[in-house]
Structure 1
């Protein structure tokens, strides 16, 4: 049985995101007060704030943990149009903070010209990669070439979703049967906006060098599904642990579940209201627009990777 516990977070403004680490023993929160707080769970089950610092010059929308294999690493994104990577370090012997841990900024990613609305680390098997999305509809994927040097990140992929982006989610599956996938949700409020949820896939094996000498690397990222069933702004997308089902939630008060059939056509397999009750007729197939491969041609985005460090 779940028991609700409240925590006096002590943020000075709205809290926008809460994120647990891999083991569920640490938690990070972020707020419009421009700060991030880190919480550690005691043996008694109580949460204690162990770090708090100003991270951005605007509201902080999201905070997320990297896999612990890469150390204690956080990423945050903000209305100030940047994303930042933070690392927890222990003070050196000649440091005033000897034996104490504190968080330091390793890099600031400044490619976006609008508010950066979400940030997520890729699954561990993909290496130390980070995806961001922004209000201008651009998804950017960065990679740290050297996991021991988090101050150097290179922009690997950049793709336009053609709608304002609100959220992203990496597919956690490490199966070789399918290329890596990332889902993107849109908060575009215009009535004519379609495809509020999109799924992209890419495969590193499709990397092709441009013929021009010294030119950037060209990637092909394919849209495998896009849906407009919410008919409203979509605020969160999330995969199940096996990467076979995608959940999306929106202003229509519903959570919709999406799954691919044996032909890799994505369909809505269930709809839940905000109170958890099923919606009448939720067993019907959703209007996956398109269920690519049947009614519409493959959509591909030609991407120019950048080898420059950010």
Structure 2
């Protein structure tokens, strides 16, 4: 059983070393919610920037928002209904823009929700229905760029949605990956607008906004995986003049891609025993959490000689029912959190 205080100072210290998704599962176990109906298999769980709210999504087409500011027990404050299929992922926007939550679903849509003045006052402020297959992944751009959301879909495209006003959004689709796009992740704000995608063509692709042409171009294509890329994560900037991306896949591989100047080099972590579903960076960018089909979560860091070593591992994290293979499957540690929280 994980026990973890939630006071602001303690969390601010711990979050520098451990990804927020790992903190989420510890909080979930601490809350001791045990009931879960099989038809409500959870797919994702994410806390907001302040750790006040937690959103979960499930196969029952619903998104649930909990108030977790009370140390005793989470309080369900709102069930968001608008999707017509299983909801794969949730993502909180930066608090600069208010309390805003994005969701994506097998029903081919992306929805953006905004909280009003009261806890149960939530409004659908944007719905995107132009994808022709499941929307598998969503990720907000750094807030310095504005309120911008990227999404990846099984229809082989990624889409970028920019909020001009609360009632006006501009959207663009990009032909991204053959067979489908499984994951998206934005680069830090210290450089031009870029994001990375992972797809069913075994490729990792980096996209850059051409400011003059006002279009997204494929800046780099990274080859190294031999099966579907399941997740990608661009590391927060460490001020070292380099970019780092982690990718993981159906091939049981985790690859660290490092760019110095214009060249990308790859380094593979020790081979995993099963498919790897998710990679997640700590906010400092120097600790990587990896989780997959073996129900284990491992933490990795880079040594001075450039080698990556694991320094901590949590074994036998509960794994709910798997999702269809054509959709993004979230990590075992996030899913375990959702499984316990979504039941109340």
Q: Is the 8 A contact 1:168 1:183 kept in 2?
A: yes
1:250 aligns with 2:249: yes
**Gap change, CA 1:75 and 1:220, over 3 Å in 2:** closer
| Larger of the two Rg values belongs to structure | 1
Structure 1 residue aligned with 2:195? 182
Instruction: Find the counterpart in structure 2 of residue 222 from structure 1.
Output: 218
4+ long deviations beyond 6 Å: none
Unaligned runs of 5+ in 1: 91-98, 209-217, 285-310
- Counterparts in 2 of 1:257 and 1:47: CA distance versus 1, 3 Å: farther
Highest RCO, 1 vs 2 (Cα 8 Å, sep ≥ 6): 2
Q: Partners of 2:255 and 2:217 in 1: how far apart?
A: 25
Greater alpha carbon shift after TM alignment, 153-162 vs 26-35:
153-162
TM alignment of 1:158-237, pairs within 5 A: 158-171=174-187, 173-175=188-190, 178-186=191-199, 188=200, 193-195=201-203, 197-204=204-211, 207-208=212-213, 218-227=214-223, 229-237=224-232
Give the drift of 1:25: 2.9
Evaluate the alpha carbon distance shift between residue 221 and residue 26 of structure 1 in structure 2; reply closer, same or farther with a 3 A threshold.
same
- For 1:132, which of 151, 166, 189 is the aligned residue? 151
Where do residues 219-298 of structure 1 align in structure 2 (5 Å cutoff)? 219-227=215-223, 229-242=224-237, 244-262=243-261, 264-272=262-270, 273=272, 276=298
- Equivalent residue for 1:287? none
Aligned length: 248
The secondary structure found in structure 2 opposite 1:101 is coil
**TM-score, scaled relative to structure 1:** 0.71
Gaps of 5+ in 2: 4-25, 273-290, 301-305, 309-344
- Offset from partner CA, 1:46-88 (integer Å, 9 cap, x none): 4332222323010111111111111111111111111111111
